[in-house]
């Protein structure tokens, strides 16, 4: 009986998680859940119409995706067709939110075509089933369909694959 319950919980969890081929569920980060700078809300519905690389990450794991961010920063693509959205899981770190938001505001100036969104309560861990305390990478097309998904440290081969996929989708 106990094994059956564990299997059932696993099946339900997999059904609710975002997967390649799915349309990314619409969410809004606002007020106590997060948003963009100055407590403005962020709506995932605004992602439609462009190809996006979404990074949902624990700030303490930022080195896992640094190679990817550097490569994306060198990528020459039309900003009307593509952007990077870094969603920062503020609840996953020991750093105070205000300090982290300030550091990321400075970082945003270095990273072209990248916007930062803040998740203060692990809202997307619940709603999109993102892995907590990790780096989550999604590529979504113009209709918010998930084309690529990766959790954890990224290899140079995976960076090349992501760059190629972004170029193909943007053309």
User: In 3D, which of 128, 105, 95, 124 has the Cα closest to residue 34?
Assistant: 124
Residue 15 has pLDDT above 50, yes or no: no
CB 152, CB 68: distance < 8 Å: no
Segment 95-153, tens digit of pLDDT? 877 777 777 777 777 788 888 999 999 999 999 999 999 999 999 999 999 999 999 99
Task: Please state the length of the chain.
Answer: 171
Q: Name the band, by pLDDT with cuts 50, 70 and 90, for residue 42.
A: very high
CA distance 86 to 118: 8
Q: What is the pLDDT of residue 11?
A: 43
Q: What is the pLDDT of residue 134?
A: 92
Segment 153-170, tens digit of pLDDT? 999 999 999 999 999 998
Counting Cα atoms < 13 Å in the Cβ hemisphere of 92 gives 22
Range from 29-33, 57-61, 74-78, 138-142 that averages highest in pLDDT: 138-142
Domains in the chain: boundaries: 2-170
**3-class DSSP state of 139:** strand
**3-class DSSP state of 15:** helix
CATH number of 2-170: 3.40.30.10
67 or 11, which is more confident?
67
CB 71, CB 163: distance < 8 Å: yes
Q: What is the pLDDT of residue 24?
A: 95
**3-class DSSP state of 166:** helix
Q: How much of the chain exceeds pLDDT 90, in percent?
A: 57
**3-class DSSP state of 24:** coil
Q: How much of the chain exceeds pLDDT 70, in percent?
A: 91
Q: What is the pLDDT of residue 82?
A: 95
102 or 49, which is more confident?
49
The residue written with tokens 């203060």 in the block is 120
């Amino acid at each position: 009986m106990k094994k059956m319950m564990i299997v059932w919980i696993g099946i339900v969890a997999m059904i609710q998680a975002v997967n390649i081929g799915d349309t990314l569920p619409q969410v809004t980060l606002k007020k106590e859940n997060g948003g963009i700078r100055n407590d403005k809300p962020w709506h995932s519905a605004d992602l439609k119409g462009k190809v996006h690389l979404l990074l949902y990450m624990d700030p303490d794991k930022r080195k896992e995706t640094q190679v990817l961010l550097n490569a994306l920063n060198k990528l020459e693509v039309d900003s009307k067709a593509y952007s990077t959205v870094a969603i920062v899981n503020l609840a996953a770190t020991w750093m105070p939110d205000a300090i982290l938001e300030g550091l990321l505001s400075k970082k945003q100036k270095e990273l072209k075509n990248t916007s930062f969104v803040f998740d203060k309560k692990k809202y997307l861990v619940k709603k999109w089933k993102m892995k907590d305390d990790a780096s989550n990478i999604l590529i979504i097309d113009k209709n918010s369909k998930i084309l690529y998904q990766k959790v954890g440290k990224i290899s140079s081969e995976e960076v090349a694959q992501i760059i190629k996929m972004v170029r193909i989708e943007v053309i």
